[in-house]
Amino acid sequence: MSHELQFYIGGEWVAPAGQARLPVIDPSTEEAFAEIAMGTPADVDRAVAAARKAFASFALTTPEERLALIRKILEAYSERYDEMAQLISREIGAPRALAHGWQAGLGTRHLKELIRTCEAFTWQRKKGTTLITHEPIGVVALITPWNWPINQIVCKVAPAIAAGCTMVLKPSEVSPLNALLFAEVLDAAGVPPGVFNLVNGDGPTVGAALCSHPDVDMVSFTGSTRAGIEVARLAAPTVKRVHQELGGKSANLILDDADLDAAVTAGVNACFGNSGQSCNAPTRMFVPAARHEEAVAIARRAAEAHVVGPADAAGTTLGPVVSALQFERIQRLIETGMDEGARVVTGGPGRPDGLTRGYFIRPTVFAGVTPDMTIARDEIFGPVLSILPYRDEDDAIAMANDSVFGLAAYVQSGDIERARRVARRLRAGSVHLNYPAWDAGAPFGGYKQSGNGREYGEWGLEAFLEVKGIVGYGA
């Protein structure tokens, strides 16, 4: 790959309008290993114009033609799979196994699920004498995060293409190289010029220009709730469709009939996956008050079993967090938890022993946490777990729902019917019962300040479609 200082616009690799550059940092070493060009509003104008021009013809392609294109993208992605995994591992510090099996792997899973979705999707139907048909919404701006980068890129770009939209992608400037590689994949697959465009840059410059651009019809954004509010504000004057997947503070309810050892151990591992940098991580663990200390001991054992180290080191299960900014924020929140009276079971502030360089966090478990504490309310985005005791089932549900977020929730119970009843009472977009396998066809998105709209499967496809009624069509 040799396009770090270029953008992909109109089917070509082009020079940026400005001269600004940004280093790409390896979080395991704190050293720069690449440099990217940073875009300007002029680059955005050029990319949007290319997308608008391409939309006129691409919108008229058939669903079958676009499905064939998605299949070619899957083939091209598979050919660059190992390279993608290695690149993501270095960019965000994901351990090798995680990067290969999941970070890169989710791209493949989304493409395969989209193919199944398109094969079964009803693009038009008759309702009396009216024809109901689905059409592409237009030019879309896609703004993606650094934590699961290719996951969020593929689950936006691929359904937008399948819908017949054209697009401009602004990936996170923290992990931008995988997006450049994905642009090469799309080019090799034969995506028509202008259908997909990529401009690197930061949120206040490139992101803002995309959100406010009069020729952009929709913004699909994944990131923090704070940034999501700004996206909506910028998009409002032109009445764009705004699709947002934002922050989370997901509750994990371990009911009194669950296998406590298995449930707590799996809950710790789910919280610490990807170094805790997942918006749907189960970061609030609710346990029966009578078994709080037992749960705490299990959580400590599970946390201390993790091996923290560089992404490329054998045996590493927890890599660094992605940046100095994230490292400092997590340190402050750990200290806040201690100041507010939560008990540190294991971990705490500072780097793990023996690691003097890199953005490494000590896997941390807090016990005796109360719902009013900052660590129980704010999204920490690191390997930090809060354990909260509850009196009974109603108390656990009330505390779980007492959050501005509503992205995901988790329920563990030995009685599946009981778990199902509890799930219906939780105000979250996704509820996971007894740690099920990940499902690419399940809707993903949140309630409340966790956003609006849904991604994955048919929901991800419908997000990029308009519904048209042609009245009198069958007269």
| Cα 96 from Cα 257, distance rounded (Å) | 36
> 430 is written with which tokens?
């996704």
Task: Determine, yes or no, domain membership for 464.
Answer: yes
Known catalytic membership, residue 279 = yes
Together in a domain, 227 and 355: no
Number of C-alpha atoms within 13 angstroms, CB side, residue 312? 11
Together in a domain, 180 and 218: yes
Task: Determine, yes or no, domain membership for 444.
Answer: no
Known catalytic membership, residue 245 = yes
> 351 is written with which tokens?
């780097």
Identify whether the C-beta of residue 36 lies closer than 8 Å to the C-beta of residue 9.
Answer: no
Together in a domain, 459 and 395: no
Cα Rg, the chain, nearest whole Å: 23
Together in a domain, 131 and 162: yes
| Cα 227 from Cα 209, distance rounded (Å) | 14
Together in a domain, 22 and 167: yes
Spell out where 44-147 has E strands: 124-127, 130-136, 139-143
Together in a domain, 87 and 153: yes
Task: Determine, yes or no, domain membership for 376.
Answer: yes
Task: Determine, yes or no, domain membership for 1.
Answer: no
The domain spanning residue 381 has which CATH number?
3.40.309.10
pTM higher than 0.85, yes or no? yes
| Cα 86 from Cα 84, distance rounded (Å) | 6
The domain spanning residue 194 has which CATH number?
3.40.605.10
Q: Residue 243 burial (CB < 10 Å; 0-12/13-18/19+)? A: buried
Task: Determine, yes or no, domain membership for 212.
Answer: yes
Number of domains in the chain: 2
Task: Determine, yes or no, domain membership for 60.
Answer: yes
9 forms bridges with which residues in the sheet? 12
> 384 is written with which tokens?
């930090």
Range 95-109 burial, b when 16+ CB lie within 10 A, else e: bbebbbebbbbbbbb
- 368-322-158-13 Cα dihedral, nearest 10 degrees: 170
Together in a domain, 333 and 398: yes
| Cα 63 from Cα 119, distance rounded (Å) | 9
> 40 is written with which tokens?
């300007």
Together in a domain, 425 and 464: no
| Active-site hit among 91, 245, 379, 455 | 245
Query: Where in the sequence is the domain holding 340, given as residue range(s)?
Result: 251-439
| Cα 105 from Cα 117, distance rounded (Å) | 18
Closest by Cα among 470, 460, 352, 360 to 109 = 460
Identify whether the C-beta of residue 277 lies closer than 8 Å to the C-beta of residue 91.
Answer: no
Together in a domain, 232 and 259: no
DSSP type of residue 437: P
Which helix (H) or strand (E) segment is 197 a member of? Answer: strand 196-198
Identify whether the C-beta of residue 91 lies closer than 8 Å to the C-beta of residue 149.
Answer: yes
Together in a domain, 231 and 267: no
Identify whether the C-beta of residue 88 lies closer than 8 Å to the C-beta of residue 149.
Answer: yes
| Cα 107 from Cα 77, distance rounded (Å) | 8
Task: Determine, yes or no, domain membership for 475.
Answer: no
Phi, psi angles (nearest 5°) of residue 33 = -125, 0
Together in a domain, 123 and 263: no
Phi, psi angles (nearest 5°) of residue 466 = -100, 150
Phi, psi angles (nearest 5°) of residue 303 = -65, -40
Identify whether the C-beta of residue 228 lies closer than 8 Å to the C-beta of residue 248.
Answer: no
Q: What is the DSSP string of 321-345?
A: -S-HHHHHHHHHHHHHHHHTT-EEE
Q: What is the DSSP string of 208-261?
A: HHHHH-TT--EEEEES-HHHHHHHHHHHGGGT-EEEEE-----EEEE-TTS-HH
Task: Determine, yes or no, domain membership for 445.
Answer: no
| Cα 83 from Cα 104, distance rounded (Å) | 9
Together in a domain, 157 and 237: yes
DSSP type of residue 276: G
| Active-site hit among 279, 379, 455, 458 | 279
Positive or negative torsion for Cα 316, 318, 323, 327? negative
Closest by Cα among 27, 110, 115 to 71 = 115
Measured from the Cβ of residue 6, the count of other Cβ atoms closer than 10 Å reads 18
123 forms bridges with which residues in the sheet? none
| Cα 334 from Cα 340, distance rounded (Å) | 10
Residue 1 is predicted with a pLDDT of: 58
Q: Return the ∠ at Cα 331 (arms to 327 and 336), rounded to 5°.
A: 150
For 38-73, what is the HEC assignment? Answer: CCCHHHHHHHHHHHHHHHHHHCCCCHHHHHHHHHHH
| Cα 383 from Cα 321, distance rounded (Å) | 9
Please give the chain's pLDDT, 475 residues, in tens: 589 999 999 999 999 999 999 999 999 999 999 999 999 999 999 999 999 999 999 999 999 999 999 999 999 999 999 999 999 999 999 999 999 999 999 999 999 999 999 999 999 999 999 999 999 999 999 999 999 999 999 999 999 999 999 999 999 999 999 999 999 999 999 999 999 999 999 999 999 999 999 999 999 999 999 999 999 999 999 999 999 999 999 999 999 999 999 999 999 999 999 999 999 999 999 999 999 999 999 999 999 999 999 999 999 999 999 999 999 999 999 999 999 999 999 999 999 999 999 999 999 999 999 999 999 999 999 999 999 999 999 999 999 999 999 999 999 999 999 999 999 999 999 999 999 999 999 999 999 999 999 999 999 999 999 999 999 999 7
